[in-house]
Amino acid sequence: MSQYHIKSLEEYFQVYHKSVRQPETFWEEIAEENFVWKKRWDSVLDWNFEKHEIKWFDGAQLNITENCLDRHLATRGNKTAIIFEPNDPSEPSEHITYRELHRRVCQFANVLKDQGIKRGDRVCIYLPMIPQLAVAMLACARIGAVHSVVFAGFSANALAERINDCECKIVVTSDGSFRGNKTLNLKAIVDEALETCPTVASVLVVKRTKEEVNMKEERDFWLLPLLDAAYKDCDPEIMGAEDPLFILYTSGSTGLPKGMLHTTAGYMVYTAYTFKNVFQYQENDVYWCTADIGWITGHSYLIYGPLANGATTVMYEGIPSYPDWSRFWHIVEKHKVSQFYTAPTAIRALAKENISFVEEFDLSSLKVLGSVGEPLNEEAWHWYNDIIGKGKRPIVDTWFQTETGGIMISPIPFVTPTIPTFATLPIPGIQPCLMNDEGNEIKGNPAEGRLCIKFPWPSMARSIWGNHERFKETYFSLFENKYFTGDGALRDNTGYYRITGRVDDVIIVSGHNLGTAPIEDAINEHPAVAESAVVGFPHEIKGNALYGFVILKETGETRDHDNLRKEINQIITERIGPIAKLEKIQFTIGLPKTRSGKIMRRILRKIANNDSSDLGDISTLLNPEVVEEIIEHSKV
Ligand code: 7RM
């Protein structure tokens, strides 16, 4: 039996129990047997949740790029590491071998050094989904610089805020980016941001769209000539286990975005371990995660986890709807994708489209289907299972957070029996628990409460950059000696977990606690409904009442809206009970979403509360324009 690769349910339970009884031995064996180290650790785990200090493999020395690149050269030098699929389907895709990637990373690392970047310096990466993004991140890791990737759809303001918070010395960007039939002038956004970023001394510019850009003398450099002039060899910087690897910003419900700080060894061990098990990756598989690298899923499961396992990982530049809604399935067929990992928001959008977009393509290479980012509602689960999986491929509904670094609760495909809407069981090493409002752990099943983690795991964030106090406040102050996730969850009779959404999404109606996910699930079961979001608004008698925002599948649906409202409430009554019926239902063309596809209920709540005067910063939304439209129609 291998702890690193779980192959049966019996093995899972054995390994899980060991991980709880002897967590240090468990992680030590995994670290020892599956990675290369320059020096062994002095202690596996030092932790104190009270002081909110966590150290894994302290004293060890390593370089993560040696684990992701160098060590594969002997056996997998000619294997494809990255398949780049461009936005435009007529542009050829690119297959980058491990040897080639290694060389490109080393050259890029030398360019960074030439620019004066040293171990510990922060490097802002603001690039589209092109290979240079992966190369830039790994080049930072090669020399011990800390990358801070900012999603290349964020505004100049959002970018400047993130650059200034961690005082980046350099920005890596491109002239522009292709997204569907649009191009975005990224360099112009960087120029605007840098007007308020005093720490940035230089900008490296990748040529992608070939559009006209302004190059500021002595600050801005085209990357290509620098790469051509750089040495091809670059020894990996020897890093300590707890040295910072990257910062990734995630927005909280209030205040500035939080720069979550991840360190080296624990992050590497945990993302590699979860990648192997959650996707059951085999040597010749082609794995595709559709997430943008500007999101934790992209860091952990497009780059570090796959490369640490010597996998072939697909990187797609464009959007699911370009040139039409069949693009994802076209790519699956073209590259014979074995594991496909995407977000519920994409699944729902794809399910809304005509089935012929799927039927044209051969999806027989698929083995495992994954979902992450939001609750995967039952309706979407069935579509994914029936239409994409042909009823034969396990769906892994994976729950995790920027803060957790890696997947925490998920089925292991072919091992864990799955049920729609359940993320099922914790990964070995993860000890979840549910807490009640009095701060006590709820033992026994079934149970519902706030989801916490009782014991440290290797890839947990170590701090919020520059604000350790906020780290402590946000995650470790609500429940003693526990990490609080901010999510609500229920545990069924068999111990399976279902994530019901952020706890601030819980609405109390006439004294009943209602999670938004099950209600949205019921609404989405209506055949005319594509997607929905539920929020609370004050009600004289009930305390709160429910307000539903509903997108219909057919825009311009001619059916009587009042009739649809009745039918939707009928389904809610059947599935949950009359207590969960919606007081108001507004049909809308869109829902405000974050770049990673999460519905911003905070904004909808304000609208439902008739208080849309101060919606906060909506510039980082995927679709800020729908907000106006929703406000407009909320008034009629
Ligand atoms: C990976 C990621 C984290 C929040 C998290 C949850 C929600 C993520 C699931 C999910 C239900 C899932 N990181 N979430 N995965 N909810 N089921 N499988 O999304 O930092 O951007 O967001 O996302 O609320 O706390 S994140």
* Alpha-carbon span 409 to 418, nearest angstrom: 12
Does residue 293 form part of some domain?
A: no
Binding site membership of 374 for ligand 1 (Cβ less than 6 Å): yes
Ligand 1 in contact with 317 (CB < 6 A)? no
Least confident of 124-128, 265-269, 631-635: 631-635
Average pLDDT, the chain: 94
| Structural domain that includes position 626 | 506-634
The residue out of 212, 237, 262 marking a domain boundary is: 237
Q: 487 alpha carbon to ligand 1 midpoint, in Å?
A: 9
Residue type, 74: A
Q: Which helix (H) or strand (E) holds 174?
A: strand 170-174
Q: What is the mean pLDDT of residues 481-485?
A: 95
Residue percentage of the chain with pLDDT more than 70:
98
For the CA of 486, the closest atom of ligand 1 is 25
CB 300 near ligand 1, within 6 Å: no
- List C-alpha distances in Å: 463 to 4, 56, 405: 28, 14, 12
Residue nearest to atom 10 of ligand 1 (CA): 374
Q: Within a domain: residue 131?
A: yes
**Interval 185-193 mean pLDDT:** 97
Residue 95 CA, ligand 1 centroid: distance in Å: 31
Kindly state the tokens that stand for 498.
Answer: 């279902």
pLDDT for res 558: 66
Say if ligand 1 is within 6 A of residue 401 CB. yes
Strand pairing class (432-435; 447-453): antiparallel
Task: Give the mean pLDDT of 214-233.
Answer: 97
- What is the per-residue pLDDT for 517? 85
Domain count, the chain: 2
pLDDT score, position 269:
98
**For residues 38-60, b (16+ Cβ closer than 10 Å) or e, as one string?**
eeebeebbeeebeebebbbbbeb
Judged against a pLDDT cut of 80, whether residue 335 lies above it is answered with yes
For residue 477, pLDDT beyond 60: yes
Provide DSSP, 421-472.
T--BSBPTT--EEEE-TTS-B--SSSEEEEEEE-S--TT---EETT-HHHHH
Alpha carbon of 374 to ligand 1 centroid (Å): 5
Q: Is 410 within the bounds of a domain?
A: no
Q: With pLDDT > 90 as the criterion, what percentage of the chain qualifies? A: 81
Q: Using the predicted structure, report yes or no on whether residue 472 has a pLDDT greater than 90.
A: yes
Q: Are 106 and 234 in contact (CB under 8 A)?
A: yes
Alpha carbons 636 and 630: distance in angstroms, whole number: 10
Q: Distance from the CA of 632 to the center of ligand 1, in angstroms?
A: 30
Q: Which CATH number fits the domain that encloses residue 616?
A: 3.30.300.30
Q: Which of 209, 237, 265 is the last residue of a domain?
A: 237
Residue nearest to atom 26 of ligand 1 (CA): 401
Residue showing tokens 């429910």: 546
| Nearest residue by C-alpha to atom 18 in ligand 1 | 399
Is the residue at 520 inside a domain? yes
**Residue in 519, 581, 568 with CA at minimum distance from that of residue 560:** 568
The pLDDT value recorded for residue 157 is 87
Q: How far apart are CA 535 and CA 524, in angstroms?
A: 15
Query: Using one digit for the tens of pLDDT, what is the confidence trace for 432-460?
Result: 999 998 899 999 999 999 999 999 999 99
- The CATH number covering residue 220 comes to 3.40.50.980
Measured by CA distance, the residue closest to atom 16 of ligand 1 is 374
**What are residue 396's DSSP bridge partners?**
370
Is the previous residue joined to 323 through a cis bond, with omega within 30 degrees of 0?
Answer: yes
Q: Is residue 620 part of a domain?
A: yes
Residue 614, exposed/middle/buried by CB under 10 A (0-12, 13-18, 19+)?
A: exposed
- Give the residue-averaged pLDDT of 469-488: 93
pLDDT, position 518: 82
| 268 assigned to some structural domain | no
Residue 207: closest CA among 266, 132, 157: 132
Please say whether the beta carbons of 403 and 250 come within 8 A: yes
* Residue located nearest, by CA, to atom 8 of ligand 1: 373
Residue 502 pLDDT level (bands cut at 50, 70, 90):
confident
For ligand 1, say whether the CB of 399 is within 6 Å of any of its atoms.
yes
Q: What is the pLDDT of residue 3?
A: 84
The domain boundary, picked from 202, 237, 272, lies at 237
Q: 562 by DSSP, 3-state: which?
A: helix
CA geometry: angle at 79 spanning 75 and 81, to 5°? Answer: 115
Reference 617, options 166, 191, 162, 124; nearest CA is: 162
**pLDDT of amino acid 556:** 64
Q: Is residue 553 part of a domain?
A: yes
The two three-digit tokens of residue 506, written as one number: 């819980």
The pTM for the full model equals 0.90
Residue 1 has pLDDT above 80, yes or no: no
Tens digit of pLDDT for each residue in 115-159?
Answer: 999 999 999 999 999 999 999 999 999 999 999 999 998 889 889
Average pLDDT in the 492-505 region? 89
Give the pLDDT score at 319: 94
| Span 355-368, pLDDT tens digits | 999 999 999 999 99
Of 309-318, 380-389, 602-611, minimum mean pLDDT range: 602-611
pLDDT tens, position by position, 541-595: 777 899 999 999 876 666 788 999 999 999 998 888 888 899 999 999 999 998 8
Residue 50, token pair as written in the block: 């009270």
Query: H helices of 166-264, where?
Result: 186-194, 223-229
Alpha helices (runs of H) in 47-155, residue ranges in sequence order: 64-68, 73-76, 98-114, 131-143
Cross-strand partners of 39 = 61
Q: Tell which wins on pLDDT, 311 or 618.
A: 311
| Mean pLDDT, residues 217-225 | 98
Residue 208 has pLDDT above 80, yes or no: yes
- Size of the chain in residues: 636
- Predicted pLDDT of residue 594: 86
- Ligand 1 neighbour 270 (Cβ under 6 A): no
- Asked if residue 530 belongs to a domain, the reply is yes
Tokens of 592: 């405000």
pLDDT computed for residue 560 by the predictor: 85
